[in-house]
Amino acid sequence: MASALISTAEQAYIRQGVVEGIRGDGRGRADYRDYLLSVNVISHSSGSARCRVGFGTDVLVGVKAEVAMIEPGEAPNRGRVQCHVECSPSAARQFQARLTDELNNDLTQFLTRALNDFGGIDLDKLAIIPNQACWVLYIDAMILDFDGNVHDTLLIATRAALANTRIPKVEVQALEDGQQEYDVIDDPEAATPVPGWEDAPLCVTLNWTGDGYVADATHQEELCTDAKLMVCVNRHGDICSMQKSTLGTIPQATFLEMLENATKIAAQIIPTVDQRLKEEHERTAQQVSGGHKSTFMTNTFL
List contacts with other proteins (CB under 8 A): 1-2, 5-10, 12-13, 16-17, 20, 22-28, 31, 33-34, 42-45, 48, 54-56, 58, 60, 62-64, 66, 68, 84, 86, 88-93, 96-97, 138, 140, 142, 144-147, 295-297, 300-302
CB of 152 to other proteins, least distance (A): 17
Decide whether 139 or 233 has the Cβ nearer to other proteins: 139
CB atoms within 10 A of CB 208: 23
Decide whether 10 or 122 has the Cβ nearer to other proteins: 10
CB of 90 to other proteins, least distance (A): 3
Decide whether 103 or 239 has the Cβ nearer to other proteins: 103
∠ CA 66-156-168, rounded to 5°:
25
Decide whether 22 or 174 has the Cβ nearer to other proteins: 22
Distance from C-alpha of 96 to C-alpha of 89, rounded to nearest angstrom: 5
Compute the Cα dihedral for 275, 165, 40, 284 and give only its sign.
negative
Decide whether 10 or 199 has the Cβ nearer to other proteins: 10
CB of 68 to other proteins, least distance (A): 7
Measuring CA to CA, which residue among 230, 277, 283 is closest to residue 36? Answer: 277
CB of 286 to other proteins, least distance (A): 19
CB of 138 to other proteins, least distance (A): 4
CB of 16 to other proteins, least distance (A): 7
Decide whether 7 or 289 has the Cβ nearer to other proteins: 7
Decide whether 182 or 255 has the Cβ nearer to other proteins: 182
Decide whether 25 or 181 has the Cβ nearer to other proteins: 25
Estimate to the nearest angstrom the gap between the alpha carbon of 8 and the chain centroid: 33
CB of 31 to other proteins, least distance (A): 6
CB of 158 to other proteins, least distance (A): 13
